[in-house]
A = this chain, B = another copy of it.
Amino acid sequence: MNETKIICEEKPKLRNPVLVAGLPGIGNVGRMAVGYLVHELKAKKFAELFSPHFFHFVMIHEDAVHVLRNEFYFYNGKERDVIFLIGDCQAFDPKGHYEVAGKILDFAKQLGCREAIAIGGFATGKIRAEGGKQQGEAKPKVLGAASGEKLSKDYEKYGIDFRIAGEVGTIVGATGLLVGLSKLYGMKGLCLLGETSGFPIIATDPNAAEAVLAVLQKIIGTKADTSKLHGKVKDMHEFLKKMEELQQEALKQMKPQQKKNEELRYIG
C-alpha cells in the first residue's frame, strides 16, 4: 500500500451532492461540527480512506484493531444530498496532504459532486470562558473564504464574514487544500471557519462548532437539532486529544534515540 486508497463498500446514487469535510484541526471545530451532524442525521457510512501518509500505528478500539482512516457518509436531504467526510487524522507530511486531498476530490467528483465545503477553526489567540456558553457572551464569528473571488457572493447571504484577507494569512492542511484544489476538479469550494481561541488541537471548542453548524445547515439545507452538541463534546474531546498526543509521540519516535557510550565502527 504505497498510495492513498478509498475502499468503497457501496456507491450511493446522489442528487447534486455537496461534500462537507470536517477533519481534526484547530479547536477541532470541523471534526466536531461535522461528526455531530453525521450522528444526528444518521448519515450512512459508505466508504473509507486509508493512507500511507497517516501514522503507522493502529488503535485498539472496542477490542478490535483500528487503522487510522477518514470516513465518507451520505445523507439524502430534502433538496440535495450531502457527502460528509470525517476522520481520525490528517496526513502528517505536506506531500500527503496533497495526495489525500486529491483523492477525496477525485472521489467526490465521481459521485457527481460540484461543491466542496471544508470546516475548520480560526485561532484568535484570545481565550473565552471554557466549558459552555455564558450569558451575554458574544457568539463566535464564522469566517469564510471561497475558491474564487466571485464565489464569495454566492455565500454571503448565509451570514459569513468574508473580510478575512486582512486578518488571516493561511489555512493549513486539508481544510485549505480541499477548497483550494477544488477548482482543478471542476468544483466550487468554501472554507467555513469558526472563531476559537486556538490553543491548537488540544482544545475542542463547542461554541465555535455550534456557530459554524448554524451557517452550514443553512447552506446544505439540513435541520439537525444542535442542542445536544455541548453534551457530546466531552467524549469527542477525550478521543481527539488522545489521537493528537499519539501522533505527536509517533513523530518523536521517528527521531534517533540517545545512544549508549558504546562505539560502533563503520565502513563504506
Residues of A within 8 A of B (CB): 1-5, 7, 25-26, 50-67, 91-95, 97-99, 101-102, 120-125, 143, 145-149, 151-152, 162-165, 167-173, 175-177, 179-181, 184, 189, 191, 193, 198, 200, 242, 245-246, 248-257, 259-260, 262, 264-268
Query: Which B residues touch A180, using CB under 8 A?
Result: 58, 65-67
Using CB atoms, name the residue of chain B closest to A3. Answer: B2
Q: 12 A-B pairs, CB-CB below 8 angstroms?
A: A1-B181, A1-B184, A2-B3, A55-B94, A56-B91, A57-B171, A57-B172, A60-B145, A60-B170, A63-B152, A120-B267, A246-B264
Task: Kindly list the 6 A-B residue pairs having the minimum CB-CB distance in the complex, ordered from nearest.
Answer: A1-B102, A52-B98, A58-B176, A67-B180, A56-B97, A251-B256
**Given contacts A162-B63, A249-B259, is CB(A179)–CB(B56) below 8 Å?**
no
Using CB atoms, name the residue of chain B closest to A189. Answer: B65
The answer, among B52, B55, B149, B171, for a CB contact under 8 Å with A268, is B171
Query: Which B residues touch A251, using CB under 8 A?
Result: 255-256
Copies of this chain, count: 4
Q: Are A176 and B65 in contact (CB under 8 A)?
A: yes
Using CB atoms, name the residue of chain B closest to A93. Answer: B254
Query: Which B residues touch A268, using CB under 8 A?
Result: 25-26, 120-121, 171-173, 175-176, 200
Complexed CA–CA distance, A253 and B264 (Å): 12
Using CB atoms, name the residue of chain B closest to A62. Answer: B149
